[in-house]
């Protein structure tokens, strides 16, 4: 494994055409350029926010290829290659490596509520099929299983290319447990509460906010790495303010449609979500009102990040 992943990685939306029937490659390229301009170290495609369950195999191939080719080594590209079927997960993994991906992010098999041994064998098959670094993704809300620190340590010891995990169990203390049980070998990426996770040993952050706030989401982790903890705390606090607006009365994982609506409002239209997710258009006036409130907060965050940058420049 030649890559080392660090910093804030956006788990990105999949841009669709206005009718939702195809991936919009022109919109994808504009969107990726925005991420590059923001200084993002990498993107993770075909994750939860990327609606991987609604993308066909043919679309997946074209999407991974188009992303890798456009980025052309200027930032990392990780691909979600998870599936309820181990054989399909292995197939997607091999394809991602062949197409030039830098790494993978993979949840355990969903729907079946697998045992620890079943999860272990699933990751064994994937690990043996690729030389790419694998980021485990612990998300009990969507997979119905919570990978314990002990299971993570078991897989870290057994599989040489399992060296990263996005820890999204909502238990920040889990970060410390994973670092301790793996003797620091496992690199933990926060899925929630990045400031707290950093202080407990996390080395990066995987988040949906880069879809519409790439500069600030990138800066949040950079600030932590530079010891500017108060700056990072302030960005996190302001992100939490609009997170609450999205969560109020909206279905679980409402982030998908809001991520796309907010990206469009920022000048990067990427279509709407595919069924069965609730579209932003279906939210009507309520969605427009919430988006307006969020956009005001995004403007405040951007201004805060610029002010901090100006202060650093003055003291340089």
Cis peptide before 103 (omega within 30 of 0): no
Write down the number of H helices and E strands in the chain: 12, 8
Place of tokens 């079927």: 85
Which residues, given as ranges, of the chain have pLDDT below 70? 1-2, 249-254
What would the two tokens of residue 96 be? 């991602």
**pLDDT given for residue 247 in this prediction:** 86
Least Cα distance to 219 among 199, 200, 205, 208 occurs for 205
State pLDDT tens for residues 126-185: 999 999 999 999 999 889 999 999 999 999 999 999 999 999 998 889 999 999 999 999
For residue range 18-48, what is the model confidence (pLDDT) as tens digits?
999 999 999 999 999 999 999 999 999 999 9
Query: Which residue numbers are catalytic?
Result: 137, 166
pLDDT value, residue 254: 64
Neighbours of 87 (CB within 10 A): 9
Question: What pLDDT does 252 receive?
Answer: 56
In the CATH hierarchy, which top-level class contains the domain 7-315? alpha beta
Token pair for residue 191?
């899925």
Instruction: Tell me what pLDDT residue 2 has.
Output: 65
φ, ψ of residue 310 in degrees (nearest 5): -65, -40
Q: What is the pLDDT of residue 196?
A: 97
Per-residue confidence (pLDDT) for residue 1, from 0 to 100: 54
Query: Which among 215, 222, 205, 208 is positioned nearest to 34, based on CA atoms?
Result: 215
Question: How are beta strands 7-11 and 187-190 bridged, if at all?
Answer: unpaired
Of 305, 277, 241, 204, which is closest to residue 52 (Cα–Cα)? Answer: 277
Distance CA 147, CA 204 (A): 19
Measured CA to CA, the distance from residue 18 to residue 270 in angstroms comes to 8
pLDDT at position 253: 52
- Please state the domain extents for the chain: 7-315
Collapsed DSSP state (helix, strand, coil) of residue 299: helix
Rounded to two decimals, what is the model's pTM? Answer: 0.96
């Amino acid at each position: 494994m030649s890559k080392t992943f660090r910093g804030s990685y956006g788990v990105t939306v999949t841009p669709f055409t206005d009718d939702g029937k195809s991936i919009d490659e022109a919109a994808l390229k504009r969107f990726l350029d925005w991420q590059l301009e923001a200084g993002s170290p990498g993107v993770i495609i075909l994750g939860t926010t990327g609606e991987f369950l609604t993308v066909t195999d043919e679309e997946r191939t074209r999407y991974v290829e188009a992303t890798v080719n456009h980025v052309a080594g200027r930032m990392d590209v990780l691909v979600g290659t998870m599936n309820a079927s181990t054989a399909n997960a292995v197939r997607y993994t091999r394809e991602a490596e062949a197409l030039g991906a830098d790494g993978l992010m993979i949840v355990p098999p969903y729907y079946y509520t697998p045992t620890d041994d079943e999860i272990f064998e699933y990751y064994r098959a994937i690990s043996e099929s690729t030389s790419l670094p694998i980021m485990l993704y612990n998300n009990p809300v969507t997979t119905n299983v919570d990978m314990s620190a002990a299971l993570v340590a078991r897989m870290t010891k057994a599989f040489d290319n399992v060296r990263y995990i996005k820890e999204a169990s909502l238990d920040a203390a889990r970060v410390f447990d994973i670092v301790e049980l793996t003797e620091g070998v496992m690199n933990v990426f926060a899925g929630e509460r990045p400031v707290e996770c950093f202080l407990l040993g996390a080395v990066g952050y995987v988040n949906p906010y880069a879809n519409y706030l790439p500069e600030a989401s990138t800066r949040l982790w950079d600030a932590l790495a530079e010891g500017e903890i108060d700056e990072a705390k302030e960005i996190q606090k302001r992100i939490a303010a609009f997170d609450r607006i999205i969560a109020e009365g909206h279905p679980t994982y409402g982030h998908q449609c809001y991520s796309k609506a907010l990206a469009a409002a920022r000048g990067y239209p990427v279509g709407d979500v595919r069924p069965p997710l609730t579209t932003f258009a279906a939210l009507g006036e309520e969605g427009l009102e919430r988006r307006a409130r969020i956009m005001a907060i995004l403007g405040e965050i951007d201004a805060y990040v610029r002010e901090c940058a100006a202060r650093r420049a003055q003291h340089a």
